[in-house]
């Protein structure tokens, strides 16, 4: 990976925002709407239930914030590629001295930035609006976020691979990828709320351990390092598989001339 190349590709992406600040609205608007809806729902439920209130509900706001890490990272990777598709710039980039690693590195950086922006906004707002402090997770917050980022990158690469292989026809599919896994990700409810068969699906997703771990840690104050370890292990596998998929799809694209005939699919 060449740092200068990554820097150039990321710069291209940032120029988009300086040129048209309205783009930033998309980045801030939806997370904000989510936070408001789930935040007030949480407050309402808390006010109207007795003390036997399930602790999962208390941490719905934390779930909203952490889900956004995964979602923004995935989007960052997928949109980065789509920007090149939309602006007919794909050939310029892939006929330039840009390796797969350079390209993926830039998409990761953009995913990281997008996640950073929304998570900061949501974390600060949730303190003021709902007195919910995600930072009370302490240092454990970092490995939690890091695991979600990696999984988001992996999902983003899978989305991009789908778009390269199936063309604009797969664009909407790529947007939906995070939502396919959301029901099994244990974001808002514990894995145990799922039927047994589906629990296995949940257990194969690194993010379910993160969300469970987040709730446990907030409740007990003890960091569940075992879950974090499993999440990290699974993430390594997902990232490797997604990377291999991406490289293979790029090779297929070169075989079939997909990069040059992008709009025909």
Ligand X SMILES: Nc1ncnc2c1ncn2[C@@H]1O[C@H](COP(=O)(O)OP(=O)(O)OP(=O)(O)O)[C@@H](O)[C@H]1O
Residues that bind ligand X (CB under 6 A): 257, 260-261
Q: In angstroms, how far is CA 233 from the centroid of its own chain?
A: 18
Query: Does residue 15 belong to the site contacting another protein (CB under 8 A)?
Result: yes
Question: For the chain, how long is the longest CA-to-CA vector?
Answer: 63
- Asked whether 239 and 155 are in contact (CB, 8 A), the reply is no
Distance CA 82, CA 39 (A): 32
Considering beta carbons, is residue 219 or 254 the nearer one to ligand X? 254
Considering beta carbons, is residue 77 or 250 the nearer one to ligand X? 250
Q: How far is the CB of 98 from another protein (least distance, A)?
A: 6
Considering beta carbons, is residue 75 or 208 the nearer one to another protein? 75
Residues recorded for the chain:
265
Q: How far is the CB of 22 from another protein (least distance, A)?
A: 11
Query: Does residue 254 belong to the site contacting another protein (CB under 8 A)?
Result: yes
H runs (alpha helix) in 54-140 = 55-58, 60-86, 90-94, 100-130
Considering beta carbons, is residue 109 or 137 the nearer one to another protein? 109
Query: Does residue 95 belong to the site contacting another protein (CB under 8 A)?
Result: yes
Considering beta carbons, is residue 88 or 261 the nearer one to ligand X? 261
| Interactions with another protein, residue window 32-91 (CB under 8 A) | 83-84, 87-91
Q: How far is the CB of 158 from ligand X (least distance, A)?
A: 24
Query: Does residue 265 belong to the site contacting another protein (CB under 8 A)?
Result: no
Q: How far is the CB of 261 from ligand X (least distance, A)?
A: 4
The residue sitting closest to ligand X, measured at its beta carbon, is 257
Distance CA 118, CA 27 (A): 7
The label of the residue with tokens 């598709």 reads: 85
Q: How far is the CB of 88 from ligand X (least distance, A)?
A: 15
Per-residue exposure over 211-248, b if at least 16 CB sit within 10 Å of its own CB, e if not:
bbbbbbbbeeeebbeebbebbbebbeebbeebbebbee
Considering beta carbons, is residue 7 or 232 the nearer one to another protein? 7
In the numeric block, which tokens belong to residue 216?
Answer: 């446990």
Distance CA 75, CA 95 (A): 24
Residues that bind another protein (CB under 8 A): 4-5, 7-9, 11-12, 15-16, 19-20, 83-84, 87-99, 251, 254-257, 259-260
């Amino acid at each position: 990976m060449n740092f200068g190349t990554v820097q150039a590709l990321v710069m291209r992406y940032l120029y988009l925002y300086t040129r048209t600040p309205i783009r930033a609205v998309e980045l801030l608007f939806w997370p904000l709407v989510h936070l408001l809806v789930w935040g007030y729902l949480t407050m309402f439920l808390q006010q109207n239930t007795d003390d036997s209130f399930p602790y999962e509900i208390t941490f719905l706001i934390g779930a909203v914030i952490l889900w956004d890490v995964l979602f923004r990272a995935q989007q960052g990777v997928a949109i980065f590629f789509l920007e090149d598709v939309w602006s007919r710039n794909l050939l310029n980039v892939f006929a330039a001295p840009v390796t797969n690693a350079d390209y993926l590195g830039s998409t990761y950086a953009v995913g990281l930035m997008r996640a950073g922006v929304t998570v900061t906004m949501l974390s600060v707002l949730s303190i003021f609006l709902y007195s919910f402090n995600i930072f009370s997770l302490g240092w454990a917050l970092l490995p939690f976020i890091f695991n979600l980022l990696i999984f988001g990158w992996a999902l983003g690469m899978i989305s991009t691979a789908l778009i390269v292989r199936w063309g604009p026809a797969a664009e909407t599919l790529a947007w939906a990828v995070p939502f396919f896994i959301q029901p099994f990700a244990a974001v808002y409810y514990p894995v145990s709320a799922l039927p047994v068969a589906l629990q296995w699906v949940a257990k194969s997703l690194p993010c379910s351990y993160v969300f469970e771990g987040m709730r446990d840690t907030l409740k007990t104050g003890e960091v569940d390092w075992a879950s974090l370890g499993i999440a990290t292990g699974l993430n390594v596998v997902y990232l490797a598989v997604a990377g291999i998929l991406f490289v293979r799809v790029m090779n297929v694209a070169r075989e079939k001339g997909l990069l040059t005939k992008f709009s025909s699919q």
